[in-house]
Amino acid sequence: MRTNLDHLQQNRPLSGLRNVGILAHVDAGETTVTERILYLTGTTHERGEVHDGTTVTDFDSQERDRGITIFAAAVSCNWDGHSINLIDTPGHVDFSDEVERSLRVLDGAVALFDGVAGVEPQSESVWRQADRHGVARIAFVNKMDRPGADLDAAVASIRERLHVTPLVIQLPIGKEAGFSGVIDLIRMRAYVWLDGSDTFAEGPVPEALLEQARRRRRLLEETVAELHPVALEEFYARSTVSAETLAAALRDLTRSGTGVVVLCGSAYRNRGIEPLLDAVVAYLPSPQEVPAVRGMSDGAVQERVADPAAPFAALVFKVSSTATGRLTYVRVYSGTIRKGETVDAGAGRTERISRILRVQADQHAEVQQAFAGDIVAVVGPKSARSGATLCAPAAPLVLEPPAVADPVVSVAVEARRSADTDRLASALTRLVDEDLSLTVRTDSETGQTLLSGMGELHLEVAVEKIRRAHGLEVGVGRPQVTYRETVARGVSGLVYRHVKQDGGAGQFAQITLDVEPLEAVDDDSAEDFAFRSVVVGGRVPQEFVRAVGAGCRDALAQGPLGGHPVTGVRVTLTDGATHPKDSSEMAFRTAGRLGLREALRASAMVLLEPVAEVTATVPEDAVGGVLGDLAARRGRISGSTARPGTMVIVATVPLAELFGYATQLRSRTQGRGTFTTRTTGYIPAPGTRSEETPPR
């Protein structure tokens, strides 16, 4: 696969730059859209296909073997005088942390939806992720050439499931296999793509569609006028909205998140991509048009605007080990970084930037400098992990890192040969360094090394990466879900006294704790743990109160039921006592840890198990068997939707019951059924109160 990197400028005007991600449910066509964009912009000279394993962004051997995107890949291209940094993100729920890290550094996104399925579970999840990061979006309804594709139905699902106002600016020409083009409702022009041609023909709206196009244009004007004051003023004055005003209003509504522009096409057949690129340039913001990034500097909040002359600040969002060294992917938020300069990598460490690379998936072009707004890879930093801030040593800043989800599935891993044990430990360390959603720990009872991640596929990919990259033979145990523990009924007035005297300065701390379920006090709390103090009269100094809180957090790592993490707990420090010589922060932290452990043992505890929302698409004649199987797995049906020849079933199922479900579903549906899952939270496991033995 040849790529052309020469057209990428080193110093690009910020107004002409777009940092955009492709977001979608698995198999909605995000990689195919990316490939068509690269081809149409002249970045590549042939169209890559997922089924042929020739795509630019799915360059990893596992991605090509499995036919899905696993790792977020960055590419760059030019369109209409604008430079576009594009990140193709995974659509599978197991790799949602890759999406989270990408969204943290993007200014805009293209949300893809299947023309038949509309909004699917993972597309809804990534939409919510983009909401949290304030990323502006446009929507592209793909696969309009498929049987059953319906733009209106897809738009209705966007409105109903995403709770956003869709602003449809195109009308499809033809249906299903006859889909040949689109009508631009803003300019009232038709674009038709001929079979076998890479270009489209522009012309007037076909007579047969003219009346429908006028109705759709009128509906678009009315919707925009309701949302935008300038468009409303023009609509009242002239009973219409000009193309110029409409385009400006759509840009404002997109960037504010008030509405989402909707386009349609068929990426596989190369139809609708040019208008999509025009919409990316027209409606999505440049780095100058998004709010200044905020970070902490010397304990105070500080803003940095996207200005190449400002102090340098960048966020690490991805780390990758390659044959040529460790690549650290960064988004430069302010300032300029040059090859050979030294940066602050946090915790008082400085690192030298030995190389700066513009990234084209697995290919790189070295440049001398990178500016505010750029997304590049740097070589040199050894200690910076994903979420770290690189900044000018003279102007330190710490940016908020991307959130990392808690792992829900674990497997035991071991080297087949004892001589490879150290190599396996090194490989696991590197793996966790690259993907923070993976964790490694040693089981205190069995001594096994446990690798935890977001799902079965996530762990399969991680283990296979160890095998291929390091040439190790690895044994893997049966997957197990990650449980949590919580308080069903707490205790009040528990007194814990910590006294230690073994020569020299002693330790003394006395605390009184109340423990209760967090949700019982504050149902709207988003926290897993809350600590507060109601001690009066200075009986426990403030610095010791903070130490007690830290100790309580330490105690949450292992609960009394089975050593699982504890969540959903509120702890109140109600009283305490100190010693004039032997009390210290360390003593009170120890008291907090041991005191809360004792309080949890005295409380009524409940084991929590992770649950997932399962969306299964099955033939009509297999519905009964699938429903019975879900019931046997303790599933609760929450909804179903009939489609021609198929039924879409939505159920909530304990994650522990889903191991091996793919094989069972294929068997019950003769290979015609498909399903997706997304973890939705935790529920009490049946029969696992404090007095009972929890599963391990």
Which two structure tokens, joined as six digits, stand for 500? 């230690």
Asked if the model's pLDDT at residue 551 lies above 60, the reply is yes
- Amino acid identity of residue 126, one-letter, is V
* 496 pLDDT higher than 60: yes
Write out the two tokens for 32. Answer: 């195919």
Q: What is the average pLDDT across 664-671?
A: 83
**pLDDT band at 693, cuts 50/70/90?**
very low
What is the rounded radius of gyration, in angstroms, for the C-alpha atoms of the chain?
A: 28
Asked if the model's pLDDT at residue 513 lies above 90, the reply is yes
The torsion angles phi and psi of 531, rounded to 5 degrees, stand at -130, 135
Bridge partners (DSSP) listed for residue 316: 330
Q: Give kind and range of the element (H or E) at residue 562.
A: none
SS3 160: helix
Report residue 222's pLDDT band, with 50, 70 and 90 as the boundaries: very high
* Strand order across the 398-399 sheet: 300-304, 293-297, 398-399
Indicate the pTM of the whole model. Answer: 0.78
pLDDT tens readout for residues 56-66: 776 677 777 77
Residues 6+ apart with CB under 8 A from 87: 19, 20, 21, 22, 72, 73, 74, 75, 102, 106, 375
Residue 493, pLDDT score: 93
Find out whether 470 and 423 touch, Cβ atoms under 8 Å. Answer: yes
Of 191-195, 309-313, 361-365, give the lowest mean pLDDT range.
Answer: 361-365
Average of per-residue pLDDT across 419-437? 88
CATH dotted code for 608-689: 3.30.70.240
Residue whose entry in the numeric block shows the structure tokens 């990466």: 465
In terms of C-beta density within 10 A (0-12 exposed, 13-18 middle, 19 or more buried), how is residue 131 classed?
middle
Location of structure tokens 């340039």: 281
Domain 305-399 - what CATH class?
A: mainly beta
Asked, colleague to colleague, whether 409-482 and 608-689 share their fold, the answer is yes
- Residue 564: closest CA among 485, 487, 489: 485
Assign 10 a pLDDT band (cuts: 50, 70, 90). very low
Higher pLDDT, 537 or 59: 537
pLDDT tens-digit profile of 264-281? 999 988 999 999 999 999
Give the CATH number of domain 485-602: 3.30.230.10
pLDDT at 503 (0 to 100): 64
CATH superfamily of 409-482: Elongation Factor G (Translational Gtpase), domain 3 (3.30.70.870)
Share of the chain above pLDDT 90, in %: 51
Residue range 135-146, pLDDT digits in tens: 999 999 999 999
Q: What is the per-residue burial (b if ≥16 Cβ within 10 Å, else e) of 82-106? A: bbbbbbbbbbbbbbbbbbbbbbbbb
Mean pLDDT of 617-623: 88
- Measured distance between the N- and C-terminal CA atoms of the chain, rounded to whole angstroms: 48
Region of 587 please: left (phi>0), alpha (psi -120 to 50) or beta.
alpha
CA distance 190 to 90: 33
Confidence at 600, pLDDT banded by 50, 70, 90: very high
Residue 5 has pLDDT above 60, yes or no: no
CA 321 to chain centre: 21
Cα separation, 199 vs 84, whole angstroms: 21
Residues in the chain: 696
pLDDT at 430: 87
The mean pLDDT of 657-667, rounded to a whole number, is 84
With cut-offs at 50, 70 and 90, classify the pLDDT of residue 93: confident
The position carrying tokens 């994903």 is 386
CA dist 194 → 29, 178, 182, 198, 340 (Å): 21, 11, 12, 8, 51
pLDDT tens readout for residues 406-427: 788 888 899 888 888 889 998 8
Going from the C-alpha of 465 to that of each of 61, 377, 438, 555, the distances in angstroms are 9, 22, 13, 34
pLDDT tens-digit series, residues 440-476: 988 766 778 889 888 888 888 889 888 888 888 888 8
pLDDT band at 523 (very low <50, low <70, confident <90, very high): very low
Report whether pLDDT(218) > 90: yes
Task: Provide the pLDDT for residue 409.
Answer: 85
Rounded to an integer, the average pLDDT of 478-493 is 90
Whether CATH 3.40.50.300 fits 14-289: yes
Q: Return phi, psi of residue 599, to 5°.
A: -65, -40
Q: What is the pLDDT of residues 112-129, one digit of tens each?
A: 999 998 988 788 888 988
Inform me whether the pLDDT recorded for 694 exceeds 70.
Answer: no
Strands 604-619 and 674-689: antiparallel
- Tens of pLDDT, residue by residue over 77-88, are 999 899 999 988
Mean pLDDT of 17-26: 90
Q: What is the mean pLDDT of residues 508-522?
A: 81
Predicted local distance difference test score (pLDDT) of residue 48: 65
Q: Taking the domains of the chain in order of start, what are their residue ranges?
A: 14-289, 305-399, 409-482, 485-602, 608-689
Residues 6+ apart with CB under 8 A from 581: 505, 506
Mean pLDDT, the chain, whole residue set: 87
Q: Which pLDDT belongs to residue 53?
A: 61
User: What mean pLDDT do residues 39-58 have?
Assistant: 74
Contacts of 108 (CB under 8 A, 6+ apart): 18, 19, 20, 21, 135, 136, 137, 138, 280, 284, 285
Q: Which residue has the tokens 């929890």?
A: 694
Top mean pLDDT of 8-22, 149-163, 382-396, 421-435 is at: 149-163
pLDDT at 696 over 60: no
β-pair partners for 363: 360
Say if residues 83 and 8 touch (Cβ distance below 8 Å): yes
Per residue in 149-180, pLDDT (tens digit) is 999 999 999 999 999 999 999 999 999 989 99
* pLDDT digit string, tens, across residues 604-618: 999 999 998 888 888
